[in-house]
Structure 1
C-alpha cells in the first residue's frame, strides 16, 4: 500500500507541508506551471533549495505582486508593505475563488473542506458563525496557495493512506490580529481537538491553523511511523531558525499489507424513553456523519423497565463531535466511553466488468489472509436493471 507519512517533530505550517510534498512529487513542472497559471499574475510560486543544520531541503517562496507577502503562516505574519496588513476575506469569498480554479473537482473540494475546518474553528473560539468570520492572513493569496498547493500535490502523488506523527505545537505566546495569545493559538487548539499533540521547550508557534487543518483533513491516522519500505523523503523547510532542524519530513513508501492495529472509541448510553423511529433516526444520522458503526442491544433496566443499549463506535479523534450528536439526537443525560485496541485487515477496492455492468469488489488483505467480496449494492442494481437473479450476477463476476 502506497503510504505517505508526515513527521511533525517541529510542528506544521502550510508552506512547510507543501514544500515536503513538492520534493516527493514526480510531476514538479506540471505542479509549478499549473499553480502559477492559476493565480497569475498576482502570484509567483518558486521552490528554493535551502540548507538548514547542514541538511538540504525545499522552501516554497510565494511572491504576491512581486513581494513576499508573509514568511510565517497565520496568525503571525511579516509583511513588506503596511497596506497588506488589513486584507480580509469572507468564507464565501474564498469558496468563490476556489470554484473558479481550473483544477480537478476533488482538489477544489479538499481545499474548500480545509477552509471549512479553519472557519469552524475561528467561529467557535470567537463565539460566532462561519458566515460572520472574516479571515485575516488566512484569507490572503499566499495562504490560499498553501492550501490549494497541498491539495493538488496530494492529488498528483495519490497515496493510498496518509499517516502522521503526533504534532509538536511549540510553547509561549504569539502575536496576532486579536492581540497576544498562548501557543497553540485558540483556532489551532480547536482544530487539533482529538489529534495527538504536545508542547516542548521551543518557545515559538510551531503549528499553525493552516497546517493543523491540512493535516486534520487528509490524515487517516496519527501514530508512530509504521514499518514500511521508504522510497523517498521530502524535507519541507520552515522560515524560522532554531538549533533543531526546522522542517516537516514527508516519507513515501510501500507499506506491506498486514493486519493494521489502531484504537477505536466506544460511546454508549442506556435509553428507555425513545420510540423505535427516533432511535432509528439517530442511528442513521450517526452513520451518515462517519461513525464506524452504530448498534443497539435490548437490555433490562432498573425497576424492570425494558430499554435499549445505544452504542456508537468511532475514531478517538471524533469523540467530542459524536458526543454532541448523541446528546442532540437522543434523550440520554449521560454516556460512557471505552477505548479498545483494534486489529483490522487492509481494505481496498477494484472494479470488474461484466455483461451486467461494472461491479466494485472489496478486498481485505493481511496476516496471510485475502478476502474478496462484490459490493452488494452494485450486484443488486445490476440484477434489477437486467431482470436477472443475484446468482446470475455473481456467476458473471466469478467468470470475469
Structure 2
C-alpha cells in the first residue's frame, strides 16, 4: 500500500508533477507507452536533470512532433482516451485521465457558462497537456500508488495572458478547481496551471499536511522557469502510511487505515424547514464529507433537528462558520472521531443499452458492497419505461456477471473508475 503525498507549496503543473513522479522512480518506458497509446508517435516524453534556485530536480519534457491545432473539445479528448490501445494503457490509467479531463471540462463550463460537452480546451487541449495528464496517471500506476493527498497549493498572483486575453491569477479554471482546498498566493505569476490543479483535485483525495508515513522515495519535478531564491518545483513523498498512534483525545491504537475527522453538531428548533435542503447542499459544496439531519423533540415539546457535519480537521473552522451563517443556531459542538472507509470505485454496467454506474466497496482484496447508483437507475428506468426495481435487479445481476460479487475477490485484472 503506497501513499503519495504531493507538496505543491511552490505551485504545480502537469509537467512538474510528472517530473516529480519520474524522479521518485516511476518507469519512463511505461509512461511513454501509455502516452503513445493515446497520441501515437506525435509526441515523445524525455527527462533531464536541472537546477531550480540551486536545487536539483527532474524536468519532464514533452516533444510535439506534429503541427498542433489551437484547441480540442472535451468530446474529442474523451474519444481519444476511449480509443487508446488497451494493451499499453491500463484501465485504471484510462479512467483516471478521463476523470481529470472531465473535471477540467466541468470547471471550464462553469467559467464560461456552457455545457461541459461543448467546452473547447485551449492550452489544456494541446498535445503536451494531454501527454502530461496521461503521463502522471501512468506514473502513479507504475509506482503502485494506492492513495494520494496534497498540502496547501500556491496559486500565484498578478495577471497572465491566455486565449481570451489578460486574466487574473489564479485563472478562472484554477479558482473553480481549488474549491474546498487550502490555497495561498505563494509568489508572483501563475504558479499553478489548470492541468496541475485538476490532477490534484481528482487524484489527491485528501487535503492535508504531510501525514504520518514511512518514506520510501522522494521526487522533485521542475517547472520551466528558474526563479532566483525560490525553487520552482513540485515535490512528491512516497511511503507507507504509519500505524495510528495513541493520543490524549482517545485515538485508536495499533490500527492502520484510520483517518482523523471532526464531527460538528448543533440543535436547531426555529429554522424554516424549507431551508434545510439548501443548508445541506452548501455544507457539502464547502467540503463536508457528509452532512445530515435527525429530527428530535426538545424541551417544552418543541420539535427540532440535529444538524451534523463530518469533515477533515482543517475544514472544521470554515464549515462551522457556514453553519452559523446558514442556520439560526447559537452554538456548535465539536468532537474528534476516526473513520475507516472501504476503498471504492465505480463499475459501469449496461442495462438494455443504458449505462448504469454501480458503486463497489472493497478492502483486503475482498468485495464488500456492490450497489447501483440510484440516480443512474432512475434515468435508465425512465428511458426504458420500466419500474426502477427492475433496473436495480438487472444492474446488480450485470455487476455479478462481471465478477463483482460481495464476499469474493475482485476479478483478476479488472479496474474500477475512480470514486470522487
TM-score under structure 2 normalisation?
A: 0.66
Distance 1:253-1:341 versus aligned 2 partners, 3 A rule: farther
- Pick from 220, 223, 226 the counterpart of residue 208 of structure 2: 223
Distance 1:303-1:339 versus aligned 2 partners, 3 A rule: closer
Distance 1:108-1:237 versus aligned 2 partners, 3 A rule: same
Gaps of 5+ in 1: 67-82, 323-332, 351-359, 364-372, 386-392, 394-400
Q: What does residue range 266-277 of structure 1 map to in structure 2 within 5 Å?
A: 266=264
User: Which residue in the other structure is 2:104 paired with?
Assistant: 118
Q: What does residue range 77-226 of structure 1 map to in structure 2 within 5 Å?
A: 87-102=70-85, 103-200=89-186, 202-226=187-211
The SS at the match of 1:240 is coil
How many residue pairs align between the two structures?
327
The SS at the match of 1:342 is strand
User: Which residue in the other structure is 1:344 paired with?
Assistant: 338
Shift of 1:31: 2.5
8 Å contact 1:194–1:316 — kept in the other structure? no
8 Å contact 2:58–2:221 — kept in the other structure? yes
Shift of 1:158: 2.3
Shift of 1:184: 0.7
Distance 1:26-1:179 versus aligned 2 partners, 3 A rule: closer
Distance 1:106-1:183 versus aligned 2 partners, 3 A rule: same
Shift of 1:172: 1.2
- Pick from 224, 228, 236 the counterpart of residue 221 of structure 2: 236
CA distance in 2, matches of 1:317, 1:150: 27
8 Å contact 1:272–1:308 — kept in the other structure? no
Shift of 1:108: 1.5
Gaps of 5+ in 2: 246-257, 320-325, 345-360, 372-395, 401-406, 408-420
CA distance in 1, matches of 2:212, 2:311: 25
8 Å contact 1:262–1:341 — kept in the other structure? no
1:43-83 CA-to-partner distances (Å, cap 9, x unmatched) read 111122223333332211111126xxxxxxxxxxxxxxxx8
CA distance in 1, matches of 2:288, 2:70: 39
Q: What is the alpha-carbon root mean square deviation over aligned residues?
A: 4.1
TM-score under structure 1 normalisation?
A: 0.69
The SS at the match of 2:21 is helix
Distance 1:170-1:377 versus aligned 2 partners, 3 A rule: closer
Distance 1:339-1:302 versus aligned 2 partners, 3 A rule: closer
8 Å contact 1:169–1:206 — kept in the other structure? yes
Bigger-Rg structure (1/2): 1
CA distance in 1, matches of 2:119, 2:34: 30
CA distance in 2, matches of 1:203, 1:291: 31
8 Å contact 2:17–2:234 — kept in the other structure? yes
CA distance in 2, matches of 1:138, 1:315: 31
1:215-263 CA-to-partner distances (Å, cap 9, x unmatched) read 0111122222123222211111100120111111111122222155644
Q: What does residue range 346-361 of structure 1 map to in structure 2 within 5 Å?
A: none
Stretches of 4+ aligned residues off by more than 6 angstroms: 267-272, 316-319
